[in-house]
Amino acid sequence: MSGRVLVGVKRVIDYAVKIRVKPDNTGVVTDGVKHSMNPFCEIAVEEAVKLKEKKLVKEVVAVSCGPQQSQETIRTALAMGADRGIHVEVSGNDYETLGPLQVSKIMAALAKKEDAQIIILGKQAIDDDCNQTGQMTAALLDWPQGTFASEVTLDGDKIKVVREIDGGLETIKINTPAVLTADLRLNTPRYATLPNIMKAKKKKIANVKPADLGVNLTSKLEVLRVEDPPQRQAGMKVETVEDLVGKLKESGKV
């Protein structure tokens, strides 16, 4: 067993930013807007680093797909304790249309190339909320998956995963190699400290192109329009119960 963990980290608009739709409704404003690592990816990195600190895995490799700026996201993962990074260069139109299917093909190819034992991803990205990449990656590799993980325990060559599901918690045991996706309560990610940020500058980030991995980035999806959610309408005050019933009947709700 290689003892190598691959962690996917995505660069997204920071969760605290007020999102604005572009005037031409083709997307949201990203220029000059603060970006940072997807919060669920932070949890994934933290889990991988914890496994390494417990000496259950040997190496943590952070992977990001995107333009030049994705390297900053990888650096943050390195500052949190990842050993090295892989930047898969995707820019321009390819980046605009990059989605879970393409990313999962990339992750699958890298998993084979790097002989990864475990892939940990965030359960979903806060910009598209797809919640698909982990599942697709597992399917492409024909690996078991432990998604929505709120607790992960390595047990020999198996992994026990406690999953958050609608009905409560489900515990499963899966073989390695496997794909895990991190849910909110898996851990509390550490802050990057200055000494670690400085050390991270010396860690290596390899540059790879999707074509080198034999991945075709063509998307089968086309975004037609992006709109704001409808503005909340003002409420109405009525004087009597009869008025209320009348208004409800008028609107066809009763």
Partner 1 sequence: MWLNLTPSRRLLSLRWSLIQYRNITLENTTRKAAVDKVLSAFRTICGKDNVSLGEAIREQHGKDESVHRCRPPDVVVFPRCVEEVSALAKVCHDHNLPIIPFGTGTGLEGGVGAVKGGVCFSLRNMDQILDLHPEDFDVTVEPGVTRKALNAYLRDTGLWFPVDPGADASLCGMAATSASGTNAVRYGTMRENVMNLEVVLSNGTVIHTAGKGRRPRKTSAGYNLTNLFVGSEGTLGIITKTTLRLYGVPEAMVSAVCSFPSVQAAVDSTVQILQTGVPIARIEFLDDVMIDACNKFSSLSYPVTPTLFLEFHGSERSLEEQVSTAEEITQSNEGSDFQWARDAETRNRLWKARHDAWYAAQALRPGCKAYSTDVCVPLSQLPQIIVETKKDLLESRLTGPIAGHVGDGNFHCLMVVDPNDPDELHQVHLFTERLARRALAMDGTCTGEHGVGLGKRALLCEEVGPLAIQVMQGLKDSLDPRNLMNPGKILQRGEL
Are 68 and 205 spatial neighbours (Cβ–Cβ below 8 Å)? no
Are 124 and 131 spatial neighbours (Cβ–Cβ below 8 Å)? yes
Using CB under 8 A as the binding rule, the residues of this chain from 171 to 230 that contact partner 1 are: 188, 190-197
Query: Considering only 1-9, 32-40, 56-64, 225-233, which stretch makes contact with partner 1 by CB under 8 A?
Result: 32-40
Are 161 and 172 spatial neighbours (Cβ–Cβ below 8 Å)? yes
Alpha-carbon separation of residue 68 from 26, 34, 91, 126, 211 (angstroms)? 23, 15, 8, 20, 17
CB of 49 to partner 1, least distance (A): 12
**The binder of partner 1 chosen from 14, 96, 115, 212 (CB under 8 A):** 14
Alpha-carbon separation of residue 157 from 1, 50, 57, 215 (angstroms)? 9, 18, 11, 30
Cα 35 from Cα 125, distance rounded (Å):
13
CB of 132 to partner 1, least distance (A): 26
By CB under 8 A, tell whether 78 contacts partner 1: no
CB of 231 to partner 1, least distance (A): 13
By CB under 8 A, tell whether 111 contacts partner 1: no
| Contact residues: partner 1, CB under 8 A | 14, 16, 34, 36-37, 76, 79, 188, 190-197
